Amino acid sequence: MNGRAINGTSKPNTPVTYDRMQIVNDEKEFTPELIGQIGRWGLRDAGFDYNIVAVFGSQSTGKSTLLNRLFGTSFDVMDETQRRQTTKGIWMCRGKDMNVLVMDVEGTDGRERGEDQDFERKSALFSLASSEVLIINLWEHQVGLYQGANMGLLKTVFEVNLSLFGKKSAEATSQRTLLLFVIRDFIGTTPLVNLQATLTADLTKIWDSLSKPKELQGCKLSDYFDLAFTGLPHKVWAADKFESDVQVLRKRFVQKDSSDYFFKPAYHKRIPADGVAFYMEGIWEQVQNNKDLDLPTQQELLAQFRCDEISTAALAEFSEQAKSQKRPVEAGRVVEGLGQMMRTWRSDTLARYDRDASRYHQGVYKRKRTDLLAVVDSTLQPLFLGQLKNLHKACLVAFKRDVVEGMKAGEYDFAELVGKARATCEKNFVEGGKEVLVEGTTWSWEEEFELLKEEVQLVADQSRKDETKKMVNLIERNFKKQIAEPVELALNTATFDMWDKVLRAFRETLDKAESTYLAKAKSFNCTEEENAHALATLRQRAWLALRAKIDEGTADTAILAKLRTHFEERFRYDEHGVPRVWKPEDDMDGAFKKAKDQTLELVPLYSKISPKDTSLEYTLPSEPSDSLTNSDEFDFPSTLIIFSETKSLDLINRFRRDADAYYVEAKRSTVSSIAQ
Ligand code: GDP
Ligand code: MG
């Protein structure tokens, strides 16, 4: 049966040893080496798949001999030639080819020698607290000797059992122990059943004679113990029969499926194999210090100790794994598959813990599991948050890049471009956020997602503003080109409705500019407010462009040239456009005055933008803020004045001088023609 179990529970490269070990020495000290030895026996990972058996009986009744034959152990057997034993202690050995820990109690028989009954009691307590089967070894001729040493021993066992398992009667029935009586040097003249009846009667007597606590008065021997009996012939006189009977008995320790299998599950003390050493040491310490042995407390202590150990081991591997991704995350990288890694580390850690720890006291196991999980999650959470932060950054960068590159690529619909980039950005973040999520935690990526969306919105708004600015600049440039010619023409011809023409041209061109803007702005998803700002800016700039054009046409030299041309056309040409040749009889003075007066009328016309048709009058709010340039305060009414009174007088004077020069020249030409 055990071939597979042995292979399954020992590490492949370490061969199983079968050395015995003294777990309690004659100084009554418990060995610190047991855990290591259980490992060397190959049983450390056996879980509950192992059994413990101990032996009890007077000195030199062949106990060690029996154990060695039964289990293939190597306990010391008394040397025939010396016939005395002086050592005391408890030994343990692994049964050959079976997951069984065998305990051999060695000691002087205190009862016979009137000494050390203390050790006997302590070892009984210790054996009962851990063993499933207690072999009671006795000679056939001792049966029925109620006063004999054996019975004293059994009385000890029973008393001890009551103190151990008696308190909690509900648990007591679940903590049963098998007492296997092995009757040595069994001859067979008295049938085994008779011996069995005698022994059972004696046991009952002993049980009844125990002074039990009040609440346990009614409890019976069978509430705590199952009894089994077997006889073995004389080892020397019936050597063959002894040997074959031992083999039959061995089978009952080995064959799990047989009906007379000794190690019934009900006897198991439910201490996982990797906790046996700690548990036994704890038991021995309590026993040794004569403290009340409270098994549930011992089991809880064991669970705490072992669950901590298992948890620490599980965490060690986890920490290594988690550490591997700490640096990249802290360096700002989005680690691909981090969520998958984290989920695997986490579940592997729990699996490692559960595998070993779940066998221990459930309350402790669960509590420590919660603690473990808290440590694991607190290690993973910074990775989770770091990854989200990095993802956020990466998505935002990608969004900006998509928008910029899309705009560089040529023709584009801004709103569509931004919309696409935003969708990609959000999709990538959500995908990444979901990937890095760890089930069973309360973490979420939604908050970070909201932050990202806000930032994307800010970037989108900024690019839209930049775009709007660019667009307004472009429209302004076109406006300037379009307005130039009609303004020049109107200013040059200087008809009485000159300003009507200028303003009409301005109006038409501005209307076109505005509708160009509105058409584009629609696709930008600009807000009403943004549109209002942009249009106000456009109007103001258009107006300033118009004024610049007008200034250009009314600069000193330009206006003087215009006045001169106007005057010349009237003074030097007749009404048919034919150059005049003055004759003495001509009314040169009259013509001069008329031309001059008509020209001077132009100065007030040029000096102020004032259409005849008042519906053409243009107004701008006095202080529209140019949201795109933040230009200085802007006073519209003053922009209607082209030049001031003083300036007008100055122009008039300068023009007069020019006109007078023409007059003198004309006069001179008349004189010279007469002179010829
Ligand atoms: P322990 O002190 O109870 O462990 O006894 P041991 O196993 O050391 O054996 C004590 C002595 O009894 C040894 O000399 C053995 O050879 C002898 N012995 C072992 N088995 C038997 C047996 O079945 N019958 C008899 N008569 N002697 C035995
Ligand atoms: Mg012995």
pLDDT, tens digit, 9 for 90 and up, residues 270-317? 899 999 999 999 999 988 887 777 778 888 889 999 999 999 999 999
Residue 563 parent element (H or E): helix 556-571
The answer to whether 242 and 192 have CB atoms below 8 angstroms apart is: no
pLDDT band at 342 (very low <50, low <70, confident <90, very high): very high
Best probe residue, ligand 1, of 61, 106, 241 (max atoms within 8 Å of C-beta): 61
The closest of 279, 47, 269, 90 to 165, measured between CA atoms, is 269
Q: Determine which residue's CA is closest to atom 9 belonging to ligand 1.
A: 62
CA distances from residue 198 to 119, 202, 652 in whole angstroms, order as listed: 28, 6, 155
pLDDT digits (tens, 9 = 90+) for 60-95: 889 999 999 999 999 988 876 665 655 678 999 999
Residue 417, Cα to own-chain centre: how many angstroms?
33
Distance 154 CA to ligand 2 centre (A): 18
DSSP letters spanning 501-549: HHHHHHHHHHHHHHHHHHHHHHHHT--HHHHHHHHHHHHHHHHHHHHHH
Mean pLDDT of the chain: 87
Angstrom distance (rounded) from CA 350 to CA 584: 126
Which ligand gives the minimal distance to the CA of 78?
1
Which range (148-157, 165-174, 485-494, 594-603) has the least confidence?
165-174
Q: Which residue has the tokens 């009403």?
A: 528
Backbone angles phi, psi at 527, to 5 degrees: -80, 165
Ligand 1 pocket check for 108: Cβ under 6 Å: no
CA distances from residue 323 to 107, 313, 379 in whole angstroms, order as listed: 55, 16, 9
Higher pLDDT, 4 or 214: 214
Predicted local confidence at residue 629, as pLDDT: 52
Ligand 1 pocket check for 185: Cβ under 6 Å: yes
Which ligand gives the minimal distance to the CA of 108?
1
* Token pair recorded at residue 371: 């603690």
Residue 56 parent element (H or E): strand 51-57
The answer to whether 374 and 317 have CB atoms below 8 angstroms apart is: no
Question: Does residue 319 register a pLDDT over 80?
Answer: yes
Best probe residue, ligand 1, of 20, 55, 60, 153 (max atoms within 8 Å of C-beta): 60
Higher pLDDT, 489 or 217: 489
Q: Which atom of ligand 1 is nearest to the CA of 76?
A: 8
Q: Determine which residue's CA is closest to atom 26 belonging to ligand 1.
A: 234
Q: Determine which residue's CA is closest to atom 18 belonging to ligand 1.
A: 62
CA distances from residue 340 to 318, 434, 436, 556, 614 in whole angstroms, order as listed: 14, 11, 7, 81, 77
Ligand 1 pocket check for 78: Cβ under 6 Å: yes
Distance 68 CA to ligand 1 centre (A): 11
Distance 451 CA to ligand 2 centre (A): 78
The answer to whether 141 and 198 have CB atoms below 8 angstroms apart is: no
Q: Which atom of ligand 1 is nearest to the CA of 242?
A: 23
Distance 66 CA to ligand 2 centre (A): 9
Higher pLDDT, 609 or 160: 609
Backbone angles phi, psi at 119, to 5 degrees: -65, -40
Interface ipTM:
0.99
Backbone angles phi, psi at 269, to 5 degrees: -85, 0
Spell out the residues 6+ positions from residue 368 whose beta carbon is closer than 8 angstroms to its own: 304, 307, 308, 311, 353, 357
Ligand 1 pocket check for 184: Cβ under 6 Å: yes
3-state secondary structure of 186: coil
Residue 525, Cα to own-chain centre: how many angstroms?
38
Strands (E), 132-251: 133-139, 177-184, 225-231
Ligand 1 pocket check for 234: Cβ under 6 Å: yes
Distance 280 CA to ligand 2 centre (A): 21
Distance 58 CA to ligand 1 centre (A): 11
Question: Does residue 160 register a pLDDT over 70?
Answer: yes
The closest of 97, 50, 43, 57 to 73, measured between CA atoms, is 97
Q: Which residue has the tokens 């020495």?
A: 25
Which range (106-115, 427-436, 445-454, 559-568) has the least confidence?
106-115
Residue 21 parent element (H or E): strand 21-24
Q: Which atom of ligand 1 is nearest to the CA of 79?
A: 14
Ligand 1 pocket check for 235: Cβ under 6 Å: yes
Distance 627 CA to ligand 1 centre (A): 111
Cα angle at 92 between 229 and 256, to 5 degrees?
A: 50
Predicted local confidence at residue 384, as pLDDT: 97
* Token pair recorded at residue 80: 């025939």
Strands (E), 97-221: 100-106, 133-139, 177-184
Other Cβ atoms closer than 10 A to 473: 14
The closest of 505, 488, 610 to 561, measured between CA atoms, is 488
Ligand 1 pocket check for 79: Cβ under 6 Å: no
Ligand 1 pocket check for 63: Cβ under 6 Å: yes
Angstrom distance (rounded) from CA 212 to CA 172: 15
Range 362-375 average pLDDT: 96
The closest of 405, 627, 420, 413 to 524, measured between CA atoms, is 413
Angstrom distance (rounded) from CA 465 to CA 93: 86
pLDDT band at 625 (very low <50, low <70, confident <90, very high): low
Q: Determine which residue's CA is closest to atom 28 belonging to ligand 1.
A: 62
Distance 63 CA to ligand 1 centre (A): 7
% of residues, the chain, pLDDT over 90: 59
Question: Does residue 370 register a pLDDT over 90?
Answer: yes
Angstrom distance (rounded) from CA 432 to CA 434: 5
pLDDT band at 7 (very low <50, low <70, confident <90, very high): very low
What is the torsion angle, in degrees rounded to the nearest 10, for the CA atoms of residue 325, residue 328, residue 334 and residue 340? -10
Q: Determine which residue's CA is closest to atom 12 belonging to ligand 1.
A: 62
Positive or negative torsion for Cα 396, 402, 403, 404:
positive
Backbone angles phi, psi at 45, to 5 degrees: -100, 20
Question: Helices 362-408 and 338-357: crossing angle, nearest 10°?
Answer: 170
Question: Does residue 402 register a pLDDT over 90?
Answer: yes
pLDDT digits (tens, 9 = 90+) for 405-424: 988 887 778 888 899 999 99
Distance 22 CA to ligand 2 centre (A): 13
Distance 71 CA to ligand 2 centre (A): 14
Which range (343-347, 359-363, 581-585) has the least confidence?
581-585
Question: Does residue 169 register a pLDDT over 60?
Answer: no
pLDDT band at 446 (very low <50, low <70, confident <90, very high): very high
pLDDT digits (tens, 9 = 90+) for 586-599: 888 898 999 999 99
Angstrom distance (rounded) from CA 164 to CA 127: 11
Distance 573 CA to ligand 1 centre (A): 161
Q: Determine which residue's CA is closest to atom 6 belonging to ligand 1.
A: 62
CA distances from residue 295 to 135, 165, 371 in whole angstroms, order as listed: 22, 8, 25
pLDDT digits (tens, 9 = 90+) for 12-58: 567 889 999 999 998 889 999 999 999 999 999 999 999 999 998 88
Best probe residue, ligand 1, of 77, 82, 120 (max atoms within 8 Å of C-beta): 77
Distance 64 CA to ligand 2 centre (A): 4
Ligand 1 pocket check for 88: Cβ under 6 Å: no
Which ligand gives the minimal distance to the CA of 246?
1
Range 632-638 average pLDDT: 74
Question: Helices 556-571 and 528-553: crossing angle, nearest 10°?
Answer: 50
Angstrom distance (rounded) from CA 71 to CA 91: 14
Angstrom distance (rounded) from CA 133 to CA 52: 7
pLDDT band at 583 (very low <50, low <70, confident <90, very high): confident
Q: Which atom of ligand 1 is nearest to the CA of 232?
A: 23
Best probe residue, ligand 1, of 67, 70, 71, 78 (max atoms within 8 Å of C-beta): 78
Q: pTM for the whole thing?
A: 0.71
Other Cβ atoms closer than 10 A to 8: 13
pLDDT band at 2 (very low <50, low <70, confident <90, very high): very low
Q: Which atom of ligand 1 is nearest to the CA of 235?
A: 23
CA distances from residue 382 to 324, 326, 327, 375, 491 in whole angstroms, order as listed: 13, 9, 12, 12, 74
Which range (6-20, 180-194, 534-548) has the least confidence?
6-20
Predicted local confidence at residue 232, as pLDDT: 96
3-state secondary structure of 42: coil
Residue 51 parent element (H or E): strand 51-57
Distance 146 CA to ligand 1 centre (A): 22
Q: Which residue has the tokens 């509590």?
A: 367
pLDDT digits (tens, 9 = 90+) for 512-526: 999 999 888 877 777
What residues pack around ion ligand 2 (CB closer than 5 A)? Answer: 64
